[in-house]
Structure 1
Amino acid sequence: MIKIAVYSLKGGVGKTITAANLGQLYATHRTKRLPGTKRGSLRRVLLVDRDPQGNLSQYFNRYSDGPLEDHPIGTDWAWLDILPGNLSLAAQEDAALDVDRYADQYDLCLIDCQADLGKLTAGAIRCADYLIIPIRLDAFSTNGLSNLMQQLENLQEAAIDARVLGVLVTHDEKTPYSDAIKKLLRERLPLFDTTISRSKWVSESTIEHKPLAEIAGPDKKHPLRPMTTRPAWQYRKVFNEMADRLSNLDKGGKQ
């Protein structure tokens, strides 16, 4: 089981949307196959909500104010399960996260972290093999890059071994400075070539509690056909980039 934490210390950058949609696309066989997933596998995915706000749980209509389940529960999509989160996470004295006990049940685990390098986030990152870091360029600068690099250095000093699989630009739109910032990022970190456009469909997805791949898009000829919105295809391309990078690492390549 490959474990990936979606991490950023800034809120509003699309961590939950990213974890939810990458997981749902894989579970519904819309992407390349990850290394380690057997050919013909059901592509079983475990989502983990480690934010006391429970946004990932709300996205899939699996939020509850009551005691948290200590085992994964199903979503509306077969082979896509979730370990829910709610405010009771904040009171946990032991924030260690152990998903390895489910390693035989799932091919991929995606962990949605809160925007705070507290015990919950640290526990999630310690559990993960890789990190995906979403960022918004409209809230980014050269100082933002320095802060991000410092955060990653702090993780290394804390003996956290998770590797940065990719930095993902979200809410993307063309501005006078966007290309320059992407160039800076690419020089220092493995930036995904694909970006997620600023789009009303992302907000629509959150409101409807429905993954982007299932949103009825602007194609009037096929209003109920899935995968009709641009962000759905962009997340598919991001996943395929991710799969290629993992395959390269699996073969001993450098990332």
Structure 2
Amino acid sequence: MSGEKTSGTALPGMDAIATGPTGRPKREFAVPAALTEHGPARIIALCNQKGGVGKTTTTISLGAALAEYGRKVLVIDFDPQGALSAGLGVNSHDGLTIYDLLLGREKDTRLAVQQTTTPGLDIIPANIDLSAAEVHLVNEVAREQILARVLRPVLDDYDVILVDCQPSLGLLTVNALTAAHGVLIPLECEYFALRGVALLVETIEKVKDRLNPAIQLDGILATMYDSRTLHSREVLERVVEAFGDSVLETVVGRTVKFPDASVAGTPITSYASEHPAARAYRQLARELIERGAVA
């Protein structure tokens, strides 16, 4: 009958084409070539005003995967909860934090940088003090551009800077978007997470129009995907319909290994190196490099 589907069987004389969760043909992204020199860094803000969608997990895991491929990576904990710092086993209560830099208590950005246990991956930590930053910065001149000023001295030290934003669209997130060259949106494969993406994209467009004409959407990353549930599959299908090629081909599945790695204070790429989630973040790193979002 016309209109019937072929249930995925290849027609005679044609090779079957394997498709991934996004409905597009599966691709293997090549292992990137080593860099002969480092910098200047491209700044990527990881944003979503909804909490619990995988922003911090993605910042840690993507940063570690890029470091494995020889990139020099700096991650910025820009959330007062300090989950990024904790997830990398960094003490955020003894020493300088991003809060000290934003308020000008410390002028030398490099003094706030801490090394992690992952070679090539550094962090500027945060703690609950950061929750007071918006109150202090609200009357500052060019208040939306303070993070950009803070990061300027270390741009030549790194290939990529990842900013883990808090789950809101307040002044801190606007600072991250104003400083960034690109935005990566982790999106949980769940209906209520989907609803907020349009608002976030609208905010990015406003920042592009008024504060940062160079900013661009590097991609939407589907996280916490469970192929066994119809809901996950339908949400991912709707995201692809709405945003097309902006949706990254890499999809990160749901697993208990992420909280286990966080408790251990180490990225999943080293905590469970051969786990499918670790492989997914290495693929994400390769995909972003191939797309030109990372050198």
Report the TM-score when normalising by structure 1: 0.80
Higher CA-based Rg: 2
CA-based RMSD of the aligned residues comes to 2.3
Q: Assess if the C-alpha contact under 8 Å between 1:68 and 1:88 holds in 2.
A: no
- Rate the CA distance shift 1:47–1:143 in 2: closer, same or farther, 3 A: closer
Alignment of 1:1-255 (within 5 A): 1-29=41-69, 42-66=70-94, 68-69=96-97, 70=109, 71-92=112-133, 93-94=136-137, 96-97=146-147, 98-140=150-192, 143-161=195-213, 162-174=215-227, 175-189=229-243, 190-216=246-272, 227-246=273-292
The aligned length equals: 227
Measured in 2, the distance between the counterparts of 1:48 and 1:187 equals 32
Deviates more, 1:206-215 or 1:126-135: 206-215
- Rate the CA distance shift 1:18–1:143 in 2: closer, same or farther, 3 A: closer
Measured in 2, the distance between the counterparts of 1:114 and 1:237 equals 25
Q: Cα deviation per residue 1:110-133 (whole Å; 9 max; x = unaligned)?
A: 110000111111111111100110
Q: Assess if the C-alpha contact under 8 Å between 1:130 and 1:164 holds in 2.
A: yes
Report the residue type matching 1:58 in the other structure. Answer: A
Q: SS at the partner of 1:12?
A: coil
Q: SS at the partner of 1:10?
A: coil
1:66 CA displacement: 4.5
1:142 CA displacement: 6.4
Q: SS at the partner of 1:43?
A: coil
Q: Identical aligned pairs, as a percentage?
A: 30
What are the ranges of 5 or more consecutive residues in structure 2 without an aligned counterpart? 1-40, 98-108, 138-142
Q: Assess if the C-alpha contact under 8 Å between 1:63 and 1:85 holds in 2.
A: no
Q: Cα deviation per residue 1:75-132 (whole Å; 9 max; x = unaligned)?
A: 1122211111111222232362121210121111111000011111111111110011
Report the residue type matching 2:256 in the other structure. Answer: K
Q: SS at the partner of 2:225?
A: coil
Deviates more, 1:50-59 or 1:83-92: 83-92
1:144 CA displacement: 4.1
1:16 CA displacement: 0.6
- Rate the CA distance shift 1:181–1:158 in 2: closer, same or farther, 3 A: farther
Q: Assess if the C-alpha contact under 8 Å between 2:59 and 2:75 holds in 1.
A: yes
Measured in 2, the distance between the counterparts of 1:22 and 1:213 equals 9
Q: Cα deviation per residue 1:129-169 (whole Å; 9 max; x = unaligned)?
A: 00110111224476445444434444345434421101011
Measured in 2, the distance between the counterparts of 1:170 and 1:155 equals 25
What are the ranges of 5 or more consecutive residues in structure 1 without an aligned counterpart? 30-41, 217-226, 251-255
Which residue number in structure 1 is paired with residue 101 of structure 2? none
Q: Assess if the C-alpha contact under 8 Å between 1:47 and 1:109 holds in 2.
A: yes
Measured in 2, the distance between the counterparts of 1:145 and 1:121 equals 15
Measured in 1, the distance between the counterparts of 2:222 and 2:123 equals 25
- Rate the CA distance shift 1:64–1:141 in 2: closer, same or farther, 3 A: closer
